[in-house]
Amino acid sequence: MKLITESIDIKELETMADSFFGNFVKAVVDIQQEIMVIDAELHADQEKWLIENGSEQKNLWGINLHPTLPIDELVEFDSMINIRPWANNRSRGVSDPLIQEKIKTIVNRLVKR
């Protein structure tokens, strides 16, 4: 796992993708602190690490990053940690368009092309 607080080059994401899943990298974004953890087998492991290091679960969202796709397809909202009936998010995606935009903004700041 790797904590991203400043930026990461898209080429590094491509290398990570090749070594783990082939075409994507799992990530969990903290929308409050505007950071993310990448490169783990499970979003749950990333979520746990962030919580143990001061993040609140309500601010954490699981995504997949597809570094070889166009910028508008880089982020895929798909993770079991996103299922939150208490927050009216009943799917593995991210239902709230405002949260989606916040995540995209953070990712676009942290991933350099």
Reduced to 3 states, what is the DSSP secondary structure of residue 43?
helix
What's the predicted TM-score (pTM) here? 0.96
pLDDT tens profile 69-87: 998 999 999 999 999 999 9
State the pLDDT at residue 113: 86
**Which residues constitute the domain of residue 57?**
2-112
Q: From CA 14, how far away is CA 112, in angstroms rounded? A: 12
Confidence tier at 21 by pLDDT (50, 70, 90): confident
* pLDDT over 90 at 40, yes or no: yes
Instruction: Give me the number of domains the chain comprises.
Output: 1
Cβ 88 vs Cβ 97: under 8 Å: no
Q: From CA 52, how far away is CA 38, in angstroms rounded? A: 16
Which is more confidently placed, 19 or 4? 4
Cβ 60 vs Cβ 29: under 8 Å: yes
* DSSP letter string, 69-109: S-GGGSEE---GGG-BGGGTB-SSS---HHHHHHHHHHHHH
Average pLDDT, the chain: 96
Q: Take residue 39 and report the two structure tokens written for it.
A: 């490169």
State the pLDDT at residue 5: 97
